[in-house]
Amino acid sequence: MEEFEIKPDVSKELKKERSNALICLLGGIYILAIAIGARIHPVAGIFLSGFAIAYSLGALMSKTEEDKKRGLLMLAAGVLGLLSRFSPAIIRVITSTALNMGAIGLIASGIWSGVKFLILKNKQ
């Protein structure tokens, strides 16, 4: 049986793309859940938004730059979720649109990272 030698830089790149794909997909789905929850049930929207804000505060205190960026994104999603629940109709439309666009962008980014992960994995 032939042994394959994995180059450290390729392995590091694989891990990076895999984690980016998972984080973006899960984050996009969660932001979409905030948007849907805010429309369907007031308590669900408040709970999901509050959880996003609580998570973001912990991530903003992290030492890594990537965690701070993700924390800022989740903070914005939580605030938009609360605004879409407790604001006039025109603001609700704007915040819901922003949440939906952010969720779609994150999901697309996650899919793209997943495709890059599969391409890198097949090159090994």
**pLDDT exceeds cutoff 80 at 109:** yes
The sign of the dihedral angle between the CA atoms of 114, 122, 9, 11 is positive
Domain ranges in the chain are: 20-123
- Predicted local confidence at residue 8, as pLDDT: 60
**pLDDT exceeds cutoff 70 at 5:** no
Nearest 5°: the CA angle 36, 72, 109 is: 65
Tell me if 110 sits within 8 A of 24, measured CB to CB. Answer: yes
* More confident of the two residues 5 and 102: 102
In the chain, the amino acid numbered 50 is G
In the chain, the amino acid numbered 75 is L
pLDDT classification of 79: cutoffs 50, 70, 90: very high
19-53 pLDDT, tens digit each: 889 999 999 999 999 988 888 887 888 899 999 99
41: left (phi over 0), alpha (psi -120 to 50) or beta: beta
Exposure string of 49-85, with b = 16+ CB inside 10 Å and e = fewer, is beebbebbeebeeeeeeeeeebbebbbbbbebbbbbb
